[in-house]
Amino acid sequence: MNKIKVIIVDDEKLIREGLKIILSSYEDLEVLALCENGREAYEYCMANEVDVVLMDIRMDEYDGVMGTKLIKENNDKVKVLILTTFKDSEYIEDALKYGASGYLLKDSSYDLIHGGIKAVYEGNIVVHPDIAAKFIIKDKTEEEGLVDIGEIKENTDLTDRELMIIKEIANGFSNKEIGEKLFLTEGTIKNNITNILSKLSLRDRTQIAIFAFKNNLVK
């Protein structure tokens, strides 16, 4: 069995070592290294084959945002999963903008973190519902009203099918799972996602999910 190669990045030694002990107990994970900041994580990823970076946000000498930016700019195949707290919403948005595949709260269960690592490794996104809800509330207070479906379609030229696919992406489903739900082939889903990215001028699935939450397409 090929194990998912993981590094853990956190400036608190107890958290790093605690996560290593627990995550190493899962047969499908291999913890390669522990890093204290984004710079160390970036340097390790440049010298070694890494599948998933479990990244803290607030750290000295390259925080999680800078670490994510550097890693993704130099090796887009590496997946970054952010571990965060409620207080870090602005940092989260920046990390997602630079290519992070999602975020979980630091007090998430180990099984949830394990599942999140597997999900991002498989190309999916991970969005903790409590943080996502916070983004939606923030978006509501900053705008004069929520964008309705008709206005979204008019402004973006998205089809009903594309809107359904956007919702399912934001809910964390893979292309195969979305195809099964909508009775479409996986290839058709991929083609639709390509069209969605083009119409919205977005880079990847993570940005599609952010679009969905900000426009209240999922709850």
pLDDT tens for 82-107 read 988 756 666 777 888 888 988 888 88
CATH 3.40.50.2300 fits 4-129, yes or no: yes
pLDDT over 50 at 140, yes or no: no
Q: Give the mean pLDDT of 118-141.
A: 67
Question: Are 4-129 and 143-214 in the same CATH fold?
Answer: no
DSSP class of residue 171 equals T
Domain boundaries, the chain: 4-129, 143-214
pLDDT number for residue 94: 81
For 143-214, give the CATH class.
Answer: mainly alpha
pLDDT at 95: 84
Residue pLDDT, tens place only, 15-55 = 999 999 999 999 999 999 999 999 999 999 999 999 999 99
- Enter the tokens of residue 37: 């900041």
CB contact at 8 A, 35 and 41: yes
For 152, 158, 204, the CA distances from 164, given in Å and listed in that order, are: 13, 10, 17
pLDDT at 136: 46
